[in-house]
A = this chain, B = another copy of it.
Amino acid sequence: MLALAWEPIVDLALAEDLSSGDLTTEACIAPDARAVAHAVARGPMVACGADVFARVFAKIDPHVSFEAHVAEAAGVEWGARLWTVRGRARSLLMGERTALNFVQRMCGIATVAREYVSKLPQGSRTRITDTRKTTPGLRALERYAVRCGGAHNHRDNLGSAVLIKDNHVVAAGSIAAAIDRAREGSPHTTKIECEVDTLEQLDEAIAAGADSVLLDNMDTATIQEAVARARGRVVLEASGGVTLARVRELAETGVDAISVGALTHSAPAADIGLDFETK
């Protein structure tokens, strides 16, 4: 994960918390006191965000050293020691909250993603994917967390793939016209996905040369029929109202991808503590 894509949000977060200093730490902790702090999982979770955790402290103080105890994307149990930072006690205390705010969110998303993936039938080729329903400013980090959880990403942003929705179809006049316009207006390296509500629209999208089709809010039987009609010709994505409970039956239809907004917009924070050893 390339740091330049997420350093702006780290800078913004540090400015929020530290632009007026840390009154308590500056008053109570000697400048030369040193400490060690361990990030510890307070529940089972998928570990995610080591680089961000390390960078928060490094931005405060380049002399803080960092050590990881688990691999990125590893599943860990309650009590697992994830990462350790060592250095000036002031620097560790100043970065604690900001670092945790990042990784609790990232581990939370990775954990939810893995839960969804675990519901797929053994050997399934269906993907669980995220959406663009990410936290403002955190998209790169949240997409990374989704991958750590074993799920896949959807398009990154409005310029990285075409996704024709109902308003685009209405404006273009028809699904076929919208796909033609999109193909003409996009690089030849861009895939064109089209959202459909009915099997008739699916047929129209396939005929017009869509690369993939988003089946919006369809029941399982209809998705099954869509797979039968389309397989081998377009990639199919099921979307809308996906719950953990429904993942297995959706995947069993043979759909290629199931997109789940809740991976990013509603994942609860993972519980991680920072335990200090003072020396």
Whether B101 lies near A136 (C-beta < 8 A) is yes
Task: Report how many copies the assembly holds.
Answer: 6
Residue contact B14 to A12, C-beta cutoff 8 Å:
no
Q: Is the CB of A23 within 8 A of B137?
A: no
Instruction: Tell yes or no: A152 within 8 A of B by CB.
Output: yes
Task: State whether the Cβ of A17 lies closer than 8 Å to any Cβ in chain B.
Answer: yes
Q: Chain B residues near A122: list those with CB within 8 A.
A: none
Shortest distance in angstroms between A214's beta carbon and chain B's nearest beta carbon?
10
- In the complex, the answer to whether A182 meets B23 with C-beta atoms within 8 Å is yes
Indicate whether A243 reaches chain B with its CB closer than 8 angstroms.
Answer: no
A69-121, CB < 8 A from B: 89, 93-94, 97-98, 100-102, 104-105, 108
Which residues of B lie under 8 Å from residue A190 when comparing CB positions? 23, 155, 160-161, 191
Q: Across the interface, name the chain B residue whose C-beta is closest to A30.
A: B171
How far is it, in angstroms, between the C-alpha of A268 and the C-alpha of B263 when the chains are bound?
Answer: 11
B19 and A157 form a contact (CB under 8 A): yes
Judging by beta carbons under 8 Å apart, are B163 and A160 in contact? no
B268 touches A159 (CB 8 A): no
Cα distance A11–B59 when bound, in Å? 16
CB neighbours of A181 from chain B (8 A): 27-28
Count of A interface residues, CB-CB < 8 Å: 98
Q: Judging by beta carbons under 8 Å apart, are A167 and B23 in contact?
A: no
Question: Could you mark each residue 163-174 of chain A with 1 if its beta carbon is under 8 Å from any beta carbon of chain B, else 0?
Answer: 111011111100
Q: Which of B139, B156, B178, B185 contacts A26 (CB 8 A)?
A: B185
**Quick check: which of A126-134, A198-206, A216-224, A246-254 contacts chain B, the rest being far away?**
A126-134
A18 with B159: in contact, given A23-B190, A171-B278, A188-B212 (CB under 8 Å)?
A: yes
Measured CA separation A21–B16 after assembly (Å):
12
Q: Are A237 and B188 in contact (CB under 8 A)?
A: yes
Residue pair A12, B15 in contact (C-beta under 8 Å) = no
21 pairs of residues in contact across A and B, judged by CB atoms under 8 Å:
A16-B134, A16-B140, A23-B159, A23-B182, A24-B164, A28-B171, A28-B172, A28-B182, A35-B167, A97-B158, A102-B136, A105-B135, A127-B188, A129-B187, A129-B188, A135-B138, A136-B137, A152-B188, A160-B160, A188-B237, A265-B268
* Nearest 8 pairs of A and B residues by beta carbon: A20-B159, A27-B185, A13-B136, A161-B189, A266-B268, A22-B158, A28-B168, A265-B269
